[in-house]
Amino acid sequence: MKVRPAACIFLILCIALTTGCWDREELSDRAFDLAASADLNKDGTYLTAAQFIIPSRVGQSSTGGAGGEKPYFIETGTGKSTLESIQKARQKLSRIITRGHRRNYYIGEHLAKNGIKDMLDAFSRDPGNRIRLDIWVVKGNTGLEALQVPYPLEKIPSVASVKIHKAIGGTTGTSYLDFMMAASAEGSCPTLPVVDIVQGDSPQKTIRFYGRAIFNNDYKLVGYLNFVEGAYRQWILKRISYFDLAENIPEAGGSVGVIVTKFGSKLKSSITPENKVKMEIELSGLGHVGENNTNLDLSKQKNLKLVQNKINKETSKHVLEMITKVQKQYGTDVLGFNQTLNRQHPSEWNKLKGQWDTIFPDIEVTVNVNMNLKYIGLVGPPLQFKESEIKK
């Protein structure tokens, strides 16, 4: 088989053009930023910080290697703007900052309450910031303090927040994108996930997933939804994969704990002739019994039905309470009601969208939860009761 000379020359040129390091920035000349934070000082200046990996220590023991050395370090900078504070931090680094591996960005509560509009402008213009980034609000603390909290299960503490959020059924790698999409949509208000710093049984503090932070149209923090309230919101938006809950069953003198692993959500909107908006929410789920502290034998269909109906009724009430809190206390649509109305009644939405901030708090909402308990575990009657005490 003969090979044409022109083809050989072409292949040689391809090899020559696709090899080598064109930007002349070797890995040893880069500082990998794994997490960062932003805070507002009392004098109005910005404080930014970043957690950088020390590659030579990553492969050492989980205790941090010889002498307990950490595989990372934190550098800070202060300035009148976010860009200036970052520049101040760069003046202390011997390597070029690379943000391609950054997964978390922590915003202190004081900065969030004063507004993050100016910070987001510089943030969104930087091509080094990944779109699949998780931005967190640190409840009651600064972003720098969140970076400084060690986490025993991870060599790099900044990984912990994402893993905790994923372990409890949340979505990861979407909060930055979701925030920007909600901020740019007519009638929507953005939210961010929240962590707080808590004191455990040991002297060491740890980081905990708290819930959701609610922002208004000016990108200012107006309040929080706790873990359970945030889970109900995620259920409505179909962004949850795991949730456990417990409800008292007065008829049986105890409580039943349920683990839900499959979720469904349907929203139906309607508009009265007086332009009164109504929203019907149907939530469905598939779960199994994880705990039974009642005297009911759940292997009996009537008892299981009793528990299922009670949990559905109470959960419907709790979800409605969360929605009412968002409507009356915060007045911000973080539930996707605007999108539902736009999708189902586009012409009416075009007339109402300019007044949505005043319409949303007065929307009449009904909630119906229909959860199916498919499994009861390995035992029917609870083992802590005697045979004579069990209600069959």
Give me the pLDDT at residue 153, please. 86
Model confidence at 384, pLDDT cuts 50, 70, 90, reads: low
Q: Which of 90-104, 177-191, 246-260, 307-321 has the highest mean pLDDT?
A: 307-321
CB of 73 closer than 8 Å to CB of 32: no
Helices then strands (H, E): number in the chain?
A: 13, 13
Averaged pLDDT, 152-181: 86
Q: How far apart are CA 366 and CA 281, in angstroms?
A: 6
CA distances to 89, 207, 315 from 229, in Å = 38, 19, 11
Averaged pLDDT, 94-105: 82
Model confidence at 213, pLDDT cuts 50, 70, 90, reads: very high
Q: How far apart are CA 33 and CA 114, in angstroms?
A: 26
Virtual CA dihedral for 108, 109, 111, 112, nearest 10 degrees? 110
CB of 184 closer than 8 Å to CB of 195: no
CATH of the structural domain 228-392, one choice from 3.90.1010.10, 3.30.300.210, 3.40.190.100, 3.40.50.2000 = 3.30.300.210
- Residue 42 gets the label, from left (phi > 0), alpha (psi -120 to 50) or beta, of alpha
Q: How far apart are CA 359 and CA 26, in angstroms?
A: 56
SS3 at position 343:
helix
Residue in the block written with tokens 């372990």: 167
Give me the pLDDT at residue 27, please. 63
β-bridge partners, 167:
none
Residue 248's Cβ-count burial label (10 Å; 0-12, 13-18, 19+) is middle
**Sign, Cα dihedral of 165, 167, 169, 173:** positive
Percent of the chain at pLDDT > 70 equals 86
Give me the pLDDT at residue 67, please. 47
CB of 227 closer than 8 Å to CB of 243: no
Reported as a single tens digit per residue, the pLDDT across 363-375 is 999 999 999 998 8
Helix (H) or strand (E) holding 290: strand 277-292
Domain parsing of the chain, residue ranges: 26-225, 228-392
Neighbours of 325 (CB within 10 A): 14
Q: Which of 64-78, 122-136, 277-291 has the highest mean pLDDT?
A: 277-291
Mean pLDDT rounded to a whole number for the chain: 86
Reported as a single tens digit per residue, the pLDDT across 271-286 is 998 889 999 999 999 9
The answer on pLDDT for 2 being more than 60 is no
Residue 327 tokens read as: 């409507």
